[in-house]
Structure 1
Amino acid sequence: MQDEHPASTEARRGFLKTVAGAGLAALGGVAGAQSFDFKPAQRYPDPAVLILDPSFAKYRIYSSTVELVGTGMRWAEGPVYFPEGGYLLCSDIPNNRLMKFDEKTGKFTVHKENVNYANGNTRDRQGRLVTCEHSVTRRVVRTEKNGQVTVLADKFEGKRLNAPNDVVVKSDDSIWFTDPIFGINGEWEGARGTPEQATTNVYRIGADGQIAAMITDLVNPNGLAFSPDEKKLYVVEWKGTPNRSIWSYDVAADGGLSGKTKLIDADGPGSLDGFRVDRDGNLWCGWGFSGAFSPTATDVPGGMKAHLPLAKSEDMDGVKVFNAQGKPIGFIRLPERCANLEFGGPKRNRLYMASSHSLYALYVEAHAAV
């Protein structure tokens, strides 16, 4: 189904350019920046938006198409929207910076450099930026309104955190974050380091600042989010067996968790990452090919044998939408793998998708849960 997407065959070529009709402002002076020759769909409805179940039809806007609003990143992550300013921030992890998309001007610019390889970001109930610095400092921080940085967590039981990854704030002002090892297991997204924690955990920072390990039995937990009523916590297990999964937990009034249940299985080479929940309880999940390859080598041109990938990235990259029961209902095809997403815009119905090198947007008939 690759030929249904108007941009999928035009990948990774040329210098950074303004893309007609896409609302993209050129990123002047960004070294090594690349762009797609992205062409938004000319016809309605956008063939990139697939209805997997009739229940998804009400969330698709007939006359809305996928837009490219920013590019030039190396690995886009952690989008967070600030309604007061009408802008979105996202992480460009290998480039060690935060990027900013301004909805009023359409400009996509560098917001802040040297951010300790920031990964996940969120906004607390007071409108402050909360960030997972997933390498070097290995901590969760809050940027105050005056620009000062407050450290919220960098250790647990006297030992350094692994590599804080994704973060969410609950209505009681508690902050929940995942702590896998991605930021310290290589040099691409930070600096190689030694894990000090015996397990890869999900932590809760109470309103009193106390840190507690709430989940300790997931292998490299990743994205996380609460249901609209906050009675469920969903967590991605990146190294689940046999596939990546989303686990569901019942949340007690005091924040305690119980009733661990597998809600979604990535089913083979599918790759779950960050996600968001809408007001109806649907999970909008960053999706793509996991990179898994065949254990058996196959003849390829040049007299070589190669272990070929088990799937095509162009068939899997995008956003997969599941209802609250874990049933897939919709899919948004993108020319790049989506790592994380966020609902933005004045009505919180513009879906921003942080995807490899670029930031995409699509208006939908769904709204952010919070």
Structure 2
Amino acid sequence: MSEFEIRDPRMGGLVLAYAQLDHLWTGGRWLEGPAYLAAGRYLVFSDIPNDRMMRYDETNGMVSVFRGPSDNSNGNTVDQEGRLVTCEHRTRRVTRTEPDGSVVSLASHYEGRRLNSPNDVVVKSDGSLWFSDPTYGIDTDYEGDAAPSELGRQCVYRLDPRTGALAAVATDRVQPNGLAFSPDETTLYVSDTGASHVADHPRSLTAYDVLPDDSLANPRTFAVLEEGFFDGLRCDVFGNVWTSAFRSARCYAPDGTHLGTLPMPERVSNLCFGGRKRNRLFITAHTSLYAIYVNTRGAIRPPARRP
């Protein structure tokens, strides 16, 4: 019997009937931002209110502090050179951790004003960084430092890898949050958790077409959640969207069909694929880290093209 609730026959080919949900660690306050670093076979994830980044070692199952304090880090990803890229609430910036351990600031301001609190980040095959910038890290002192927004809006930004120029590519979301590209990078999925601030705001995932010049067009509702929020998400090699969905993780086909649901004992914040074959789904929840093996693999970006 699969741990997943199957809603569409296509889901049967994506899960393993004998794979169980593993409870890997507990002890956080609000866990987020899982990113798998294949070279070391470990997962980095954020414990935002506790102001630390944690490290799960897949070779021995041990969890330790990767970085603390972490400036209330949230979303993490890995670029094509294997470097960790991190969104920080307290510093209101996006950073990169170099091989020597030094931390380099990549983006902190837009048009001369400080960002709100970068939340989630993804890397495209051209090396550009795309990140969301809602206000959660400046709303209270719990996950950052309370402060007014200098920008007055919440956007998704693209950071040019050559010039360092920052462009607002999505300006129509209330609280843009999780991000994921389709495997061919023609679609960008964005979760909007605006219902936390605006009553009756749709609890939705939005899909955008990514044009050749990296602008976004044709925003459309991809999925709607009945309660709670969509938050972090990833795509597998077939283009299916795996996403946090309140007290569950869900899988949607590229056509938007809800294929299946993994019920969870806690509220789910984010997820990512990892393991040696990229077929292990790591899930960050309210206080705990979980994982389950699936019958698909996480999509990966092609290597960066050298000029």
Question: Into which bin does the TM-score normalised by the smaller protein fall?
Answer: over 0.9
Q: Deviations over 1:80-116 (max 9, x none)?
A: 0011110000000000000011011110111110111
Determine helix, strand or coil for the equivalent of 2:81: coil
Counting aligned pairs with the same residue, the percent is: 45
**1:250 maps to which of 191, 209, 230:** 209
Looking at structure 1, the residues matched to 108 and 229 of structure 2 have their Cα atoms a distance apart, in angstroms, of: 28
**Looking at CA atoms only, which structure, 1 or 2, has the larger radius of gyration?**
1
User: Does the alignment pair 1:282 with 2:220?
Assistant: no
Corresponding residue of 2:225: 266
**2:258 maps to which of 319, 328, 338:** 328
| Letter matched to residue 168 of structure 1 | V
Looking at structure 2, the residues matched to 242 and 170 of structure 1 have their Cα atoms a distance apart, in angstroms, of: 29
Looking at structure 1, the residues matched to 129 and 202 of structure 2 have their Cα atoms a distance apart, in angstroms, of: 27
Contact 1:199 1:217 in 2 (8 A): no
TM-score (ref. length: structure 2): 0.94
Looking at structure 1, the residues matched to 145 and 248 of structure 2 have their Cα atoms a distance apart, in angstroms, of: 29
| Letter matched to residue 232 of structure 2 | G
Matches within 5 A, 1:304-323: 317-323=247-253
Looking at structure 1, the residues matched to 228 and 147 of structure 2 have their Cα atoms a distance apart, in angstroms, of: 28
Corresponding residue of 1:218: 173
User: Does the alignment pair 1:108 with 2:63?
Assistant: yes
Looking at structure 2, the residues matched to 199 and 182 of structure 1 have their Cα atoms a distance apart, in angstroms, of: 12
User: Does the alignment pair 1:185 with 2:165?
Assistant: no
Contact 1:86 1:346 in 2 (8 A): yes
Contact 1:139 1:152 in 2 (8 A): yes
Contact 1:225 1:276 in 2 (8 A): yes
Contact 2:169 2:215 in 1 (8 A): yes
Looking at structure 1, the residues matched to 138 and 228 of structure 2 have their Cα atoms a distance apart, in angstroms, of: 24
Q: How much does 1:163 deviate?
A: 0.6
Determine helix, strand or coil for the equivalent of 1:177: strand
Corresponding residue of 2:102: 148
Looking at structure 1, the residues matched to 161 and 67 of structure 2 have their Cα atoms a distance apart, in angstroms, of: 27
Looking at structure 1, the residues matched to 213 and 204 of structure 2 have their Cα atoms a distance apart, in angstroms, of: 26
Q: How much does 1:270 deviate?
A: 3.6
Q: Deviations over 1:35-61 (max 9, x none)?
A: xxxxxxxxxx24x32111111001111
Contact 2:31 2:269 in 1 (8 A): yes
Q: How much does 1:164 deviate?
A: 0.3
**1:347 maps to which of 277, 284, 297:** 277
Contact 1:76 1:356 in 2 (8 A): yes
Corresponding residue of 2:29: 74
Corresponding residue of 1:20: none
Q: Deviations over 1:214-268 (max 9, x none)?
A: 111210100011000000011111116532111111111221111111111113x
Matches within 5 A, 1:34-53: 45-46=1-2, 48-53=3-8
**1:170 maps to which of 124, 134, 154:** 124
Looking at structure 1, the residues matched to 201 and 145 of structure 2 have their Cα atoms a distance apart, in angstroms, of: 29
Q: How much does 1:369 deviate?
A: 0.6
Q: How much does 1:346 deviate?
A: 0.3
Q: How much does 1:193 deviate?
A: 1.0
| Letter matched to residue 72 of structure 1 | G
Contact 2:225 2:245 in 1 (8 A): no
Looking at structure 2, the residues matched to 200 and 244 of structure 1 have their Cα atoms a distance apart, in angstroms, of: 16
Looking at structure 2, the residues matched to 126 and 161 of structure 1 have their Cα atoms a distance apart, in angstroms, of: 26
Looking at structure 1, the residues matched to 269 and 17 of structure 2 have their Cα atoms a distance apart, in angstroms, of: 25
Q: How much does 1:322 deviate?
A: 0.8
Looking at structure 1, the residues matched to 186 and 31 of structure 2 have their Cα atoms a distance apart, in angstroms, of: 30
**Which protein is richer in strand relative to its size?**
2
Root-mean-square deviation (Å): 1.0
- Unaligned 5+ segments in structure 2 are 301-307
Matches within 5 A, 1:19-30: none
Determine helix, strand or coil for the equivalent of 1:59: coil
Looking at structure 2, the residues matched to 66 and 173 of structure 1 have their Cα atoms a distance apart, in angstroms, of: 34
Looking at structure 2, the residues matched to 337 and 198 of structure 1 have their Cα atoms a distance apart, in angstroms, of: 29
Corresponding residue of 2:13: 58
Determine helix, strand or coil for the equivalent of 1:339: strand
Determine helix, strand or coil for the equivalent of 1:100: strand
Higher relative contact order, structure no. (Cα contacts within 8 Å, ≥ 6 residues apart): 2
| Letter matched to residue 43 of structure 2 | L
Determine helix, strand or coil for the equivalent of 2:229: strand
Determine helix, strand or coil for the equivalent of 1:115: coil
Contact 1:214 1:257 in 2 (8 A): yes
Stretches (4+) displaced over 3 A: none
Looking at structure 1, the residues matched to 218 and 73 of structure 2 have their Cα atoms a distance apart, in angstroms, of: 32
Q: How much does 1:360 deviate?
A: 0.3
Q: How much does 1:197 deviate?
A: 0.6
- Which piece of structure 1 moves more, 72-81 or 256-265? 256-265
TM-score (ref. length: structure 1): 0.78
Corresponding residue of 1:37: none
